[in-house]
Structure 1
Amino acid sequence: MLPQISVIMSVYNGSRYLNESIASILSQTFTDWEFIIINDGSTDNSESIVQGWQNRDERIKLISREHKGLTISLNEGLRYAQGEYIARMDADDIALPDRFAKQVAFLDENPDHVAVGCRMLVIDPEGMPIFTCSRLTTHEEIDAAYMAGQAGIIGHPAVMIRRRVLQRIGGYREQFTYAQDRDLFLRLAEVGKLANLSDTLMKFRLNAKSMGHTQRSEQKRYANLATIEAHQRRGLEPPILSDSSSEPPKSISDLHRQWTWWALGSGNVATARKHALLALTRQPLAVESWKVFACALRGW
């Protein structure tokens, strides 16, 4: 009997958080799933970690080969998938126990919707809370935000999508080395509705080494291209979008300061103080470091 959900994860040197991520799938209250994990040429012990879990649960299917990148890996996972629904997952994030149950129930009850995400608690590398994102819930809000060039409206690792619709639109477009999720969601919105559940069902981990930080200008370039092409497909005039290609990359201290402000804005004072201190330790002569440290100590 075919599973109702195919979970697809691509892993590239993800051993640090991989056990916690896989365990969160095995802890789901909804159990009718297969878990397809593409080991995308990892050089750490990611493969052996997955093999250990595979020996404990036959629903886990491991495919290992040379490094090809995220977009190609996700399409490869789709070719193996047998479920009615595709659930994305990343190797450093955590799915809360009711995620699958609530997303399946929504899609079963709303046949006009092709994909559903959820609110996500953004956490730091050690799992401390920073803020909650993906707060827009309706198709109209989500599509308008994406068409305006906004990012992160539906969390890519938090989404569940109808497999037949993914097949209908051709899966991920492999020319999108980055921002493949932005392009996908814009194309999905042209054949059905998108939504986010108002429940917080995922923990999304920020990491200074993640693609969004280390390839920031390329990510932005591809995201802008996805937005422009969506307007062209719909016969609309593309908006003027910001270009970050000339901006210097963020330093680790910049990231700690940014995470401090985000955490303060959401009332996560302990997290804010932690990252303010880390920023100050790295750049003790920077005025910005002292400013954010003082605000974190006050708690606002």
Structure 2
Amino acid sequence: MEDLITVIVPVYNREKYLHETMESILNQTHKNLEIILVDDGSTDNSLRIARYYERLDKRVKVIIQKNMGICVDMKNALAISNGEYIARCDGDDINELDRYEKQLKYLKENNYDIVGVYVQSFGDGNDVAKRGVKFFINRPIKNDYDQYVRILTGGCINGGCIFAKASVLKKFNPFHKDYGLVEDGYLYIILHKNGCKIGILEEVLYNYRIHHTNTSLSTGNRKKCVDKYFEALFRFLFNEKLEKYKNIVVIKREDEEKLIKDTFKNYFNYLNVKFVNEHNFEDFIQNEIFNYKSEDTIFFAGSMFFNCVLDILKYRNYKMYENLFLLVDCYY
């Protein structure tokens, strides 16, 4: 008998798209599915559509809750899931019909804990966002190094196309309501930090709709997303390294520097942090950088500064990904 896969579909005001999404799930080549639709307090006809599919197909269950966000959606659905594997599909996106069959095979053959797939963006949204999704997501993960670097460069797997062992998600519960805007990044960070093996199937099997109501891509939310991603990086990925070193140097653009300062003020205000931006970078390189020693200093630098910093520090016993880090550049 086929393995049981639980498909979780978070839904909030997706009446325009939900039929397409559901048809791409119900018609999968892998038939043994448990499909949990989570209506997150929709105010349109999404719940009515969800109930229609619940009556139509016995594999479909509907959860109704007040609007609490994607992370609570996932937690609540995971709590009642029965599948050995968990897949997600957002309520406005479209699967290729062999997605779950291929992800299951790929995960089992390579003993991954969680896998994504390559993504095709479509819809009437911003063309820059469409190109960005493809550029950051559609890259291979060949080893632990690739897995780690994707976090630092902001290229975590798309949250809508995750496919994971249920036991892994239930053990680490990588869904935090405070990080709903960057839920895929938070999930990736937590699973990586706990030694999970993450892969990506190098085939386009998920169609990601870009439109004006995408939560993380909307103009109003971009700054908040950047802020929360930096916060997640320092709180959950770098926290042990921050405690290890006496001096912390962060070299970023002024606009990003302000966001990172907020994280240190809120969570690490007892640490000794030196902030450098484009306005004082030249002076720092010429007059201060040699005052820092590798045994008690850790550097984080954005891409526009990194090569210059690397050229100086690589001869002073600094080691990449130990006390010298390239830190993702974010624009909003």
TM range (shorter): 0.7 to 0.9
Checking the alignment, whether the CA contact within 8 Å between 1:217 and 1:245 is kept in structure 2 is no
Paired position in structure 2 for 1:220: 226
Of 149, 157, 161 in structure 2, the residue corresponding to residue 158 of structure 1 is 161
Distance 1:241 1:91 in 2: 36
In structure 2, the partner of 1:203 is 207
Deviation at 1:124, TM superposition (A): 1.9
Pairwise mapping of residues 12-91 of structure 1 onto structure 2 (< 5 A)? 12-91=12-91
Q: What runs of 5+ residues in structure 1 fail to find an aligned partner?
A: 248-300
Paired residues of 1:217 and 1:244 also in contact (CA < 8 A):
no
Query: Is the CA contact 2:12–2:41 (under 8 Å) kept in the aligned structure 1?
Result: yes
Residue 142 of structure 1 corresponds to 147
Indicate how the Cα distance of structure 1 residues 232 and 34 shifts in structure 2: closer, same or farther if over 3 A, else same: same
- 1:3–1:34: 8 Å Cα contact kept in structure 2? no
Q: Is the 8 A contact 2:93 2:207 kept in 1?
A: yes
The 3 A distance-change label for structure 1 pair 33 and 245 is farther
- Secondary structure of the residue that 1:92 maps to in structure 2? coil
Displaced runs of 4 or more, over 6 A = 236-239
TM-score after normalising by structure 2 = 0.67
Work out whether residues 40 and 66 of structure 1, in 8 Å CA contact, stay in contact via their aligned partners in 2: yes
Within the candidate set 173, 176, 198, 2:176 is matched to: 173
Note the alpha carbon deviations across 1:244-267, whole angstroms, 9 max, x for none: 6989xxxxxxxxxxxxxxxxxxxx
Aligned CA-pair RMSD: 2.6
Question: Match of 2:38, SS?
Answer: strand
Higher Cα radius of gyration: 2
Distance 1:171 1:164 in 2: 12
State the SS of the aligned residue for 1:43: coil
Scaled by the length of structure 1, the TM-score of the pair is: 0.74
Count of residues paired in the alignment: 243
Q: Distance in 2 between matches of 1:116 and 1:85?
A: 11
CA deviation map 1:225-253 (0-9, x unaligned): 11112333553688656656989xxxxxx
Equivalent residues of 2:74, 2:175 under 8 A apart:
yes
List alignment gaps of at least 5 residues for structure 2: 260-332
